[in-house]
Structure 1
Amino acid sequence: CCVCLDKWVGHQCNCYFISKEEKSWKRSRDFCASQNSSLLQPQSRNELSFMNFSQTFFWIGMHYSEKRNAWLWEDGTVPSKDLLVLKVIRPEHCIVYSPSKSVSAESCENKNRYICKKLP
């Protein structure tokens, strides 16, 4: 039900770009924005079920807002508490996600692969 650009993967009417190169969180976010997309904001635990085999960690669109003293998605919304379980993490960290259901935090300056999701 969706037509995705070359190098993008279609799944359940969404288009995803799964990077092979590594960038910092900010550069990953900027790349996604340049493609009229955003870093992935998983809507459910099963959203990336087609990637369950992957043990790789990818940047997703969550960051810590010191101003609001909370973890937020790029669009400013608060993540669902049951979607991703986050322990107390340092504010200078950003979230990496593995489709095998693991979540971790790393310095936002580290380089990781990333997943963009096309904006509707």
Structure 2
Amino acid sequence: MSAFMKQSIQSTSSPGPTVEPQEGSGCCSCQEKWIGHKCNCYFISSEKKTWAESRDFCASQNSSILKLHNRDELQHFIKSSKSFYWIGLSYNENHRAWLWEDGSALSQDLFILSENVNTKNCIIYSTINNILDESCKEKNYYICKQQLI
């Protein structure tokens, strides 16, 4: 075997994030410290940031601050958490509506925001299906979501 062929056969490892298939992830491989579920990867923070810092961190990870598709989406991996997490829902003055970061409207069957929610605030969510509004400048945990399909 020539030296050239031998060299091309040897594998080279490149530095970078390790990607491991996560148990129960179905069709995805997620970065280390991310949780795979139904072709999505989730990052659940262990540090608190403002809403904007949370959104920016998620964007830096090729993901977005969490957009919920249904109430049960997080139940299987943060079942018993009493913590609240920033989600990607904020009030858009131009549209006079609560919108997700991608510009889509909040589905009325997901949860209903009461009339007394301060539209200047951002929304925090807990898995016990509670949502609260809080000043976007407060620091809370957050969840990033990366869709793989």
Q: TM-score range by the shorter chain?
A: over 0.9
Report what 1:55 is aligned to: 82
Q: How far apart are the structure 1 equivalents of 2:54 and 2:83?
A: 16
Report what 2:31 is aligned to: 5
Higher Cα Rg, which structure? 2
Report what 1:91 is aligned to: 119
Where in structure 1 do 4 or more consecutive aligned residues deviate above 4 Å?
none
Where does structure 1 lack aligned partners over 5 or more consecutive residues?
none
Q: For residues 76-103 of structure 1, what are the alpha-carbon distances to aligned partners after superposition, in whole Å with 9 as ceiling and x for unaligned?
A: 1101001022112112100000012111
Residue aligned with 1:49, SS = coil
Where does structure 2 lack aligned partners over 5 or more consecutive residues?
1-25
Residue aligned with 2:132, SS = strand
AA of the residue aligned to 2:112? V
Alignment of 1:11-22 (within 5 A): 11-22=37-48
Q: How far apart are the structure 2 equivalents of 1:38 and 1:23?
A: 15
Is the contact between residue 9 and residue 17 of structure 1 (CA under 8 Å) also seen in structure 2? yes
Residue 138 (structure 2) pairs with residue 104 (structure 1): no
AA of the residue aligned to 1:4? C
Residue aligned with 1:26, SS = helix
Q: Normalising by structure 1, report the TM-score.
A: 0.95
Provide the aligned length of Structure 1 versus Structure 2: 120
Is the contact between residue 36 and residue 119 of structure 1 (CA under 8 Å) also seen in structure 2? no
Match of 1:36 among 37, 55, 62: 62
Is the contact between residue 39 and residue 147 of structure 2 (CA under 8 Å) also seen in structure 1? no
Q: For residues 95-115 of structure 1, what are the alpha-carbon distances to aligned partners after superposition, in whole Å with 9 as ceiling and x for unaligned?
A: 000012111110111100000
Structure with more contact order per residue of length (Cα contacts < 8 Å, sep ≥ 6): 1
AA of the residue aligned to 1:85? I
Identity over aligned pairs, percent: 52
